[in-house]
Amino acid sequence: MTDTIEIWTDGACSGNPGPGGWGALIRIDGVESELHGGEPATTNNRMELMAAIVALESQPKGSRVILHTDSQYVKDGLTKWIINWKRNGWKNAAKEPVKNKDLWIRLDIAAAEHKVDWRWVKGHSGHAENDRADALARLGCEENRTRR
């Protein structure tokens, strides 16, 4: 088994809500693979979450993963905020229900099956792997634009 799997994820939405897509570039032992998909009516944050979820769910349990995301919402949500959300019955600091609870639960489960190092990368900054994940997310968005 490989030492570490590297993943870059991104989400996109045409309108918010609107048709959306997600993409993931996965590198294992120098070999790259790509995943993408989307939904006809969704939000950008849901697509950012789905990119990370599907990428992690596609890896063997127990993998060491470096997951790069340009979404501070995803990174901070899973590494900082989720502890209090769970403690407070899935309510945020304003005592309102956490948005996208269904996906946060799914991401929490997927991440718990691996050893994940979450890293934020600035989006649209010329970072080749992040740009590829963005292109995959836009592809997923475009494919779902025609499914309305």
pLDDT of residue 6: 98
Set 18, 38, 68, 70: catalytic member: 70
- The CATH number of the domain holding residue 34 is 3.30.420.10
The amino acid present at 141, given as its one-letter code, is C
Number of domains in the chain: 1
Set 23, 37, 48, 114: catalytic member: 48
Q: Is 17 helix (H, G, I), strand (E, B) or coil?
A: coil
pLDDT of residue 124: 73
Is 131 in the active site?
no
pLDDT of residue 3: 85
The answer for residues whose C-beta is within 8 angstroms of residue 40's C-beta and 6 or more apart is 19, 144, 145, 147, 148
pTM of the predicted model over 0.85: yes
Is 70 in the active site?
yes
For residue 115, give its domain range.
Answer: 5-145
With beta carbons less than 8 A apart as the criterion, state whether 34 and 25 touch.
yes
pLDDT of residue 148: 52
Both tokens assigned to 37:
């998909």
Both tokens assigned to 12:
């996109």
Set 10, 18, 36, 77: catalytic member: 10
pLDDT of residue 2: 61
Is 117 in the active site?
no
C-alpha 78/C-alpha 102 separation (Å) is 13
pLDDT in tens, the chain (148 residues): 568 999 999 999 998 899 999 999 999 999 999 999 999 999 999 999 999 999 999 999 999 999 999 999 999 999 999 999 999 999 999 999 999 999 999 999 999 999 999 999 987 777 799 999 999 999 999 998 876 5
Q: What are phi and psi of 19, to 5 degrees?
A: -65, 135
Which has the closest alpha carbon to 13: 50, 34, 49, 38? Answer: 38
Is 48 in the active site?
yes
Set 39, 68, 134, 140: catalytic member: 134
Is 11 in the active site?
yes
The amino acid present at 63, given as its one-letter code, is S
